[in-house]
Amino acid sequence: MPFRVSRTHHPARGHDPLVVRLTSGFRRFQQRWYHDEPVFDRLRLGQNPHALVIACSDSRVDPVLLTDSSPGDLFVVRNVANIVPPYVSGTTPRGVCSALEYAVKHLKVKDIIVLGHACCGGIHALVAGETRGGDDEFIDQWVALAGKALERARAECPESGEAELARVCELWSVRLSLTNLMTFPWVKSRAEAGLLALHGWYFDLQSGELLEYDQEKEGFSVLVGHPARHERPAPGHPSARGHGPGR
């Protein structure tokens, strides 16, 4: 019988260090969310997340962890470089678009947050382009969707080296994803009716700051400042240099 759940433990797997670490974590998760605080008593009936977050797959930028959120709080879609492709009608299966559609039409989220971040490998791949080499099959095509962000960054910082260019491109890619969100007719109509708010955030993992894209100023401003032990901006930080979309 397929998919029957066996209650027999597998001792060999139980000694794998990674499995031990992860299953220990899962036990703490059970304790926290099923025992001490029975959140899943409510969640097993359904989900009603506060927001959709579109974030990078990068292991350092988990939106739930970064915002100290709980199970059921955030509907999350993650991909390389937190890219939202522009709307294209058709029948090709699209992961980002289907998550977006489910969050907006079915879960009826009222907020969408595009969460970019510093030191993004996907954006660095885009900036490095053909000089990167290698035999990757999919990455270049995917990050090419953020090509307009690179164009804007190059126009803004024609003299910059690759690292600085990548940093500015990371900011522009957040703005580009916000722009592309508005190409989805059912996002645009809800946003224009005031039923849906779009946010562009950027986690600077070098300084610990959280930046927010300001539509009116067409630039980024600090949403959450440096942690107390980091009072000064890191070298090359956008808030220190005035870089960013629209500047």
Q: Which residues contact Zn ion by CB under 5 A? A: 56, 58, 120, 122
Name the residue nearer to Zn ion (CB basis): 58 or 156: 58
Smallest separation (angstroms) from Zn ion to the CB of 81: 5
| Distinct helix (H) and strand (E) counts, the chain | 11, 6
CA dihedral 68, 69, 70, 74 (to 10 degrees): -160
Name the residue nearer to Zn ion (CB basis): 33 or 142: 142
Name the residue nearer to Zn ion (CB basis): 56 or 149: 56
Alpha carbon of 211 to those of 71, 97, 196, 201, 220: distances in Å?
Answer: 24, 25, 20, 6, 6
Name the residue nearer to Zn ion (CB basis): 104 or 112: 112
Smallest separation (angstroms) from Zn ion to the CB of 164: 17
Alpha carbon of 34 to those of 5, 24, 27, 93, 219: distances in Å?
Answer: 21, 15, 10, 35, 43
Name the residue nearer to Zn ion (CB basis): 123 or 198: 123
Residue 198 to residue 110: CA distance in whole angstroms: 9
Residue 83 to residue 70: CA distance in whole angstroms: 24
Smallest separation (angstroms) from Zn ion to the CB of 57: 7
Smallest separation (angstroms) from Zn ion to the CB of 14: 33
Residue 218 to residue 199: CA distance in whole angstroms: 13
Smallest separation (angstroms) from Zn ion to the CB of 137: 19
